[in-house]
Structure formats: C-alpha cells, structure tokens
Structure 1
Amino acid sequence: MDNKRFEELWFKPVIRVGMVTLLLAAALSFFPVIFLYMKYGVFPPFEVAMKSWGMIAALFGAFYVVEPISYYSVLGMSGTYLSFLSGNISNLRLPCAAMALEVTDTEPATKEAEVISTLGITGSIITNLIGTTLAAFVGAALIKVLPPVIASAFTNYTVPAIFGAVFGQFAIKYPKLAVVGIGIPVILRFTTTLPAWVLIIASVFGTIIIARLFYNMENKSVKS
C-alpha cells in the first residue's frame, strides 16, 4: 500500500478519533471539580490551582516534550493516542508495543509497525483493565501477606526492571546506540549538577541526534 492510500485509510481516521477522545478525556477530568462546586460549593482559589499546576509542571514538564517524541517510533501515531489516553506508557504500553514489533520482526517507524504496535497496545489495554480490576480486589491483600523483603521488591523495583528489560531488548539490536543511550546520562550525572529534567532531555535528544548521524554514515558507506 502506498503512502497516500495508507494516509487516507489509517492516519486521517486515527487523528480524527484520537483528537476527539483525548479532548473529551481532558474535559471530563474537570468533572469531579465541577461536581464538588455544584454540590457542595467547594472550589480551589485560582492562585492555589495555578501554584499546584506549576509544581506538577516543574516536576514533569520535560515529559510533555520528551515522551511523545522518544516513544513515537515504537508506539506509532495510533499507539501514541491510545497510550496517552490509557496511561502507563513507559512501564506497560511501550514494552508491549516493542515486544509486538520484536516477535513479528517488524521494523519500527514503518506502516507495518503502525498496525502491529496498535494491536499490541490494544491487547495490553484490555489485559490491563482485567488485571487492574483483579488487583484492586486481591493485590493489596496479597502484598500484605508477603514477606517485607518481597513486598518491598515489588513496590520499588518493578518499574526499573521493566525499563531494564526494554533497554536490553533494544541494546541487542542496536548495541552502538545502547552505549550512547546509557553513556550520556551517566556522564552528565557524574560530571555536572544539572537537574534531572535537563538530563532526561539531553539523553533523549542526544541519542536521537547521534542515531541520525550513525544512520547517515551507514547510508554513505552503502552508496560508496
């Protein structure tokens, strides 16, 4: 299928549905505040609301830019809409999309990857809904009966373990970029006093730039 046909059948419907669902979710997120105001007359002062937003933006503002760009090649357009609507991107949607591409031997950032990653993410959302529902009933009770060491490991090391597995998965395929991807934050961490959000941006965009340089060098060597 050529790019124009694929855009008509895939990208345009995805953008249309994705924009509507995300904007609707954003609007509905204000519903609890509106309900409290209409029912009980409770509403936060504007200054307090803006200060609270500023604190959150200072902590997570870098992710507003970094995550959509750095995850796009794996998630694809439809996967990006699905992931930002459902959440748990880095610890669930991204690994599931990456694994779907891996088992089907699909190259990221291609038309095929758009479809495959979407199927992987959709499956993870359905599974997540079932698992979250079960966890809400039995998860907390299960953690309580586990030995403290095991419970602590679950709560403190699950996300780092997922990140490590995803990094290892891509490191096998792109060993040069793996060195760059982990080298930039390590060097900056021990040689500078930059805040964490600067390290995140430098690591992501630095790796992207160097990956592009590697790509151009390989193309030149193939043509020559």
Structure 2
Amino acid sequence: MAIKSKIAGSQYEDKIHKIGRTTGIIALILIFVVPALISIRYSIFPPISNLMIGMLTISMIQIPICIAEVLTYTPMLGSGGSYLAFVSGNLTNLKIPCAAMCMESAEVKPSSKEGDIISTISIAVSTLVTGTIIIIGVIAIVPLTPILSSPVIAPAFENILPALFGGLGAYWILKQWKLAVVPLSVTVIISMFVAVQPAVLIPICGAVSIGAARWMYKKGWVKEV
C-alpha cells in the first residue's frame, strides 16, 4: 500500500511539474508577444538602448526579489500551488493569505502532501475568482470611475493591503507571538533608518524569521505548531 502511494505521489508530482513548466513557458512567451504585437500593429518601437537600460535597471531590483520569493513561498505553497501562483500573480496580497488560511482551516501543514493539494485548490479557486472580478471591473470601470476616484474613499484603497495583512498577521501572531518579535523588530528598525521598498524586505525578513524561529526552537522557547 505504501509503495502504491509513493508511485501515485511520484506520478502526481511529475504531471504537476510537466503542466507547470509548460504553462510557465507559455506565459513567458505571451509576456513578450503582446507588447511586440502592439508595437508592430501601431509602428511604435522604443529605442533599443533605452529599452535595454530600462530592462537592466528593473532586473537588478526584481531578480533578487523574485529569487527570494521562490525560496520563501515555494515550501509553503508546494509544487502545484507555486506554479499557479507565480503564473497568475498577486502572491503577497492574495495567493499567500488564501493558501495559508485554507491550510489552517483544513488543519494540514505546509510542505506535506495534503498541504500541497489544499494549497493548489485554494490558489486555483482564488485565481478564478480574481479573473471573474477583473472581468466585471473592466466592464464596469467607466461608469464606476467617478465613484472610485472620489477623494472620500481614496484612503480606503490606500489601506487595503495593510488591513489584509494586519488581520492575517494578528491571527498568526496570537498563535506564536514569540516568533513575530524578531522579524517585526528588524522591519521597524530598517524602516526607521533606511528608505526601503516593502518588496526588498521580503528576503530580509524571510531569512531573519527562519533563523530566529530555528534558534528559538532549539532553545525550547517555541514548539512546533
């Protein structure tokens, strides 16, 4: 029975990686094809030198961040969830919270077979919901523009992400508050003395969180959840 389970798990992983790599390559091609077709259709081509400088500048910032996100999020999301999340986007503000809460509700752990399946299903559903909302938003954007651009509700849009992660963070902090002390302290100290973008803090806080959690676990200050 155990051998059959291992074979089925191996086949599942192989199929996930095959589909994930294929869709990733297709998405990468489309990223370049769409602007290329628009440029050809309207005869608008940016100067090569300016294009290369812009791509190099962005790459210097985004490549380290992307590597850090893959190393940080993949163990949490699993193979299927990772492929879906990185292709569809909106990781930090949608996919990660959705997967984390679904695994918590299902009482499964990340980096497990059950967690991988729950993560994949939750991210797939959130992707479908996001796509549906985007379609509705595109259709309704013109009549809703006066309302959405109103200065009365502008502060609400500016605080959507802090509210989302505030609620999610409070839930996890209450479960293991000791684990939050070090990364929160490091984040506050860095933000006080260095003008840094939130995305840059991802690899820093990820490494600090893992190191601090491991040290506290060895000291016996925290237990496995």
Look up the equivalent residue of 2:156 and give its one-letter code.
Answer: F
The answer for the alignment partner of 1:193 in structure 2 is: 194
Q: Which moved more, 1:47-56 or 1:80-89?
A: 47-56
The Cα of 1:17 is off from its aligned counterpart by 0.9
CA contact (8 A) 2:69 2:203 kept: no
Instruction: Supply the distance in 2 between the matched residues of 1:160 and 1:183 (Cα, whole angstroms).
Output: 17
Q: Residues 80-129 of structure 1, C-alpha deviation per residue, up to 9 Å, x if partnerless? A: 11011111111111111111112111122211100011111111111111
Q: Per the alignment, do residues 54 and 113 of structure 1 end up closer, same or farther by CA in structure 2, a change over 3 Å counting?
A: same
Does the 8 Å CA contact 1:14/1:77 hold for their aligned counterparts? yes
Q: Which runs of 5+ in 2 are unaligned?
A: none
Aligned residue type for 1:25: A
Number of residue equivalences = 221
Unaligned runs of 5+ in 1: none
Cα distance change on mapping 1:147 and 1:23 into 2, 3 Å:
closer
Is 2:87 the partner of 1:85?
Answer: yes
Q: Partners of 2:56 and 2:42 in 1: how far apart?
A: 26
Instruction: Say which SS state the counterpart of residue 107 (structure 2) adopts.
Output: coil
Distance 1:101 1:213 in 2: 25
Percent sequence identity is 27
Distance in 2, matches of 1:177 and 1:31, equals: 45
Which aligned pairs between 1:159-174 and structure 2 lie closer than 5 A?
A: 159-174=161-176
What residue in structure 1 maps to residue 158 of structure 2? 156
Moved more, 209-218 or 154-163: 209-218
Judged with a 3 Å threshold, the aligned counterparts in structure 2 of structure 1 residues 95 and 139 are, in CA distance, closer, same or farther, namely farther
Provide the residue aligned with 2:32 in structure 1: 30
Q: Post-superposition shift, 1:216?
A: 3.6
- The residue that corresponds to 1:47 in the other structure is 49
Quote the Cα distance in structure 2 between the aligned partners of 1:77 and 1:22. 13
CA contact (8 A) 1:36 1:43 kept: no
Q: Which moved more, 1:138-147 or 1:6-15?
A: 138-147
The two structures have a TM-score, normalised by structure 2, of: 0.83
In structure 2, the CA distance between the partners of 1:141 and 1:214, relative to structure 1 (3 Å rule), is farther
Call closer, same or farther: CA 1:178–1:92 in 2, change over 3 Å. same
Give 1:48-197 correspondences, 5 Å limit. Answer: 48-139=50-141, 141-142=143-144, 144-145=146-147, 148-190=150-192, 192-193=193-194, 195-196=196-197
Range moving further from structure 2, 77-86 or 202-211: 202-211
Deviates more, 1:40-49 or 1:202-211: 40-49
- Whole-angstrom CA distance in 2 between matches of 1:164 and 1:135: 26
> Structure 1 162/139 Cα, relative in aligned 2: closer, same or farther at 3 Å?
farther
CA 97–35 in structure 1, closer or farther in 2 if over 3 Å, else same: same
Q: Deviations over 1:126-164 (max 9, x none)?
A: 111111111222356446236945421332111221122
AA aligned opposite 2:182:
V
1:205 aligns to 2:207 (yes or no): yes
| Cα separation, partners in 2 of 1:194 and 1:5, compared to 1, 3 Å | farther
Contact 2:85–2:123, Cα closer than 8 Å, also in 1: yes
Deviation, 1:53, is 1.1
Q: Structure 1-normalised TM-score?
A: 0.84
C-alpha distance after superposition, 1:146-204 (max 9, x if no partner): 694542133211122112222223212221112222111112233x4374465443222
Matched letter for residue 176 of structure 2: Y
The one-letter code of the counterpart of 1:64 is: C
